[in-house]
Amino acid sequence: MNLTQIITHTLESCFLFRNKLFKTIFYEIFYRYKYPKSNHFIKPPDTYPTPYYFIYKISKFINKKKISAIVDLGCGSGRLTNFLCDQTKAKIYGYEIDNETYQIAKLNKNHDVKIFNINIVDIDFKSLEAECFIFNGPLYKSEHRSDFEKLINGIHDCKKQLSKKYYIIGINLDEDKRHKAEDRNYIFNNKNLSKVVVAGPNKKIKFFEYGPNNF
């Protein structure tokens, strides 16, 4: 990103995440400087990149739960994967369908991050040791609804057989206002909701926790 794009994105992020304005500004400035390669966007994304304030909160959750392996479903240029690789002890896997974006992520990734250029609905979850799955808002929108449902069911079908806890972290699930709240959330049950972090209107992280006795 050039300087103008950085300033524009930062200002827009501050407006969208205005409930945590000062924290959003602080984390964006600090971590953009610390991880400059992770802020390379070659085309306008479907949504604003996950703010570093959210990524920081996700890293704290991962460390608290002692999660050992994470999958970022739609990793973009690697902003989240590189941060989590540096700030947690977990193994990090990223999946990005767009080849051009994937090439940038691959070029700039932390050497311990593994990046794959495939459609996330084609992932063989049985071959993954991951216990935490992270996704952003666009996967949850109307045009992707069937793929998203297939994806989540694939995770559940595989992981619930292992009798171990696993986690799904959804970023900005409530962005798509074309559906009623109960319809937007029909895939997830609030009894599995472990934590919510709110930073602005429809800007929040939802942490879902699953185990042998709470599907």
Domain assignment present for residue 145? The answer is yes
Domain assignment present for residue 77? The answer is yes
**Which range of residues forms the domain containing residue 10?**
3-210
Domain count of the chain?
1
179-188 pLDDT tens trace:
455 444 556 7
Q: 34-46 in b/e burial notation, b at 16+ Cβ within 10 A?
A: ebeebbbbeeebe
Question: In Å, how far are 14, 41, 88, 121, 177 from 91, measured between CA atoms?
Answer: 31, 24, 9, 21, 34
Mean pLDDT within 57-68: 96
Domain assignment present for residue 215? The answer is no
CATH of the domain at 149: 3.40.50.150
Among 10-14, 92-96, 193-197, which stretch is predicted with the lowest mean pLDDT?
Answer: 10-14
- Strand pairing partners for 12? none
Around 53, how many Cα atoms within 13 Å sit in the side-chain half-sphere? Answer: 24
Average pLDDT over the chain, rounded to an integer = 81
Q: What six digits make up the tokens of 135?
A: 């996704």
Nearest to 13 by CA among 56, 60, 58, 52: 52
